Amino acid sequence: MLYMYKYYVMKNIWITGASRGIGYSTAQLFLEMGHRVIILTRNTQAVEGLSALYPETLYICTTDLLALEKSEYPDYPVDILINNAGALVNRPFSDITKEDLMKVYGTNVFGPIQLIQNLMPKFSSDAHIVNISSVGGVTGSVKFPGLSAYSSSKGAMTILTECLQAEFGDSTSWSFNCLALGAVQTEMLEEAFPGYVAPIDAAAMAAYICGFALNNHRVMRGRVVEVTMSTP
């Protein structure tokens, strides 16, 4: 598999949304490489298998990101932060409720913003922050009925990435990049497009994300990169 080798320098990699799908596969691959992984999740049961396999290099932080105090984070630096957690509501615009919006925007926008603010004191000198967005959140891409809350929230993350790089790019060596993913075979894809079969699975996308997170901050900063074979 691509990028399946151990790095000589262990990185401290923080990941949200790692209880399933792309996030789980990404965390697993980083652990196989020999890095330390800090998973931020409320679903600890879903990652118990990884914890048993990697007791010395996996740390599970279990709480709601929006409720977490700075003092509650583990005492590791942030070399890489992958904001992967996502929530989706597939519903006609006229039927979307305030609760729907709070669910989607809370997970996809407010949570990452809060997390970045809280973790900034832990950022290493060349920290790489990778925001996972969607092709549906990119201007000019194909849009689909029922996904207005989801796509607009992901659009917010693409713009936030550019804004953060503009704000911190001159005063720090931090890199903020965004991956706008197309269709990947996950539970969330099934929620959005029932019955659709994507041309790429979570493990393959995880391999790409791992390589990007480890290397691409050396050649790009403040970029929104579309990673897609179908939309869908």
Instruction: Write down the domain spans for the chain.
Output: 12-227
* Other residues' Cβ atoms within 10 Å of the Cβ of residue 15: 26
User: Is 66's pLDDT higher than 80?
Assistant: no
pLDDT at 126: 97
Tokens representing 110 are: 């407010």
pLDDT 10s digits, 85-116: 999 999 999 999 999 999 999 999 999 999 99
> 76, 150, 196, 208: which one is catalytic?
150
User: Is 155's pLDDT higher than 70?
Assistant: yes
pLDDT at 42: 85
Residue 71: pLDDT band with limits 50, 70, 90: low
Residue 169: pLDDT band with limits 50, 70, 90: very high
* Known catalytic membership, residue 150: yes
Q: Could you say which architecture CATH assigns to the domain 12-227? A: 3-Layer(aba) Sandwich (3.40)
Gap between the Cα atoms of 60 and 176, Å rounded? 24
pLDDT at 2: 46
Among 68, 45, 53, which residue's Cα sits nearest to residue 114? Answer: 68
Gap between the Cα atoms of 27 and 16, Å rounded? 9
pLDDT at 9: 84
User: Is 6's pLDDT higher than 60?
Assistant: no
* Other residues' Cβ atoms within 10 Å of the Cβ of residue 140: 5
* Other residues' Cβ atoms within 10 Å of the Cβ of residue 4: 10
Is residue 188 within 8 Å of residue 21, measured between CB atoms?
yes
Is residue 26 within 8 Å of residue 83, measured between CB atoms?
no
Gap between the Cα atoms of 156 and 128, Å rounded? 19
Gap between the Cα atoms of 74 and 66, Å rounded? 16
pLDDT 10s digits, 29-60: 999 999 999 999 888 899 999 999 999 999 99
Residue 8: pLDDT band with limits 50, 70, 90: low
C-alpha distances in Å from residue 20, one per residue of 41, 48, 93, 138, 198: 10, 12, 27, 24, 17
Query: Whole-prediction pTM value?
Result: 0.92
For residue 75, which amino acid is it? D
* DSSP H or E stretch at residue 98: helix 98-105
Among 213, 58, 207, which residue's Cα sits nearest to residue 127? Answer: 213
DSSP state letter for 59: E
User: Tokens 């060596």, residue?
Assistant: 173
pLDDT at 196: 93
Is residue 23 within 8 Å of residue 15, measured between CB atoms?
yes
